[in-house]
């Protein structure tokens, strides 16, 4: 399958006290033919980038500016190059947010995980129908 049409595959559900940066590496799909990793400013760390590069990933993580010194013009151009492919992924999160987002009205991580998997599956089916109606063969 073309990497542009890969469907949402992995979901990590944790309690609210766990930062999403702690499960970052576990969500990487090692079977993906693209070895590019895109992330926003919340994920940069020298150790993380070194580990990812050693594992064969092409790291595209945006840089943070400091309070006293912003980012340079070269970094702004780099951020724009990184933001363009990330925009497609953000559309997926936007679609999930329209389905109720992360708002779940149950207690218990098992129930919440089940509901989020149902939402992801319904998004994948909706995307599959869209691709097939457009005349594309997603498989």
Helix, strand or coil for residue 73?
A: helix
Residue keyed to tokens 């469907």: 7
Could you report the per-residue pLDDT of 79-107, keeping only the tens digit for each?
899 988 888 888 888 888 888 765 666 77
What is the reported pTM? 0.69
Break the chain into its structural domains and give their ranges. 3-133
Could you report the per-residue pLDDT of 36-53, keeping only the tens digit for each?
888 888 787 888 889 889
Task: Give the separation between CA 54 and CA 71, rounded to whole angstroms.
Answer: 27
Whether 16 shows a pLDDT value over 50: the answer reads: yes
> Confidence band (pLDDT; 50, 70, 90) for 109?
confident
- 46 burial type by CB count under 10 A (0-12 exposed, 13-18 middle, 19+ buried): exposed
């Amino acid at each position: 399958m073309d990497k542009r049409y890969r469907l949402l595959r992995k979901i990590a559900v944790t309690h609210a006290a766990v930062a999403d940066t702690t499960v970052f590496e576990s969500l990487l799909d090692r079977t993906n033919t693209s070895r590019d990793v895109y992330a926003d400013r919340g994920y940069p760390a020298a150790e993380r980038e070194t580990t990812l590069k050693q594992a064969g990933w092409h790291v595209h993580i945006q840089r943070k500016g400091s309070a006293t010194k912003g980012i340079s013009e070269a970094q702004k151009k780099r951020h724009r190059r990184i933001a363009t492919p990330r925009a497609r992924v953000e559309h997926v999160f936007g679609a999930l947010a329209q389905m109720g987002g992360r708002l779940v009205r149950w207690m218990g991580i098992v129930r919440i995980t089940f509901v989020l998997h149902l939402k992801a599956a319904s998004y994948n089916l909706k995307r599959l129908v869209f691709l097939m109606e457009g005349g594309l063969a997603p498989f």
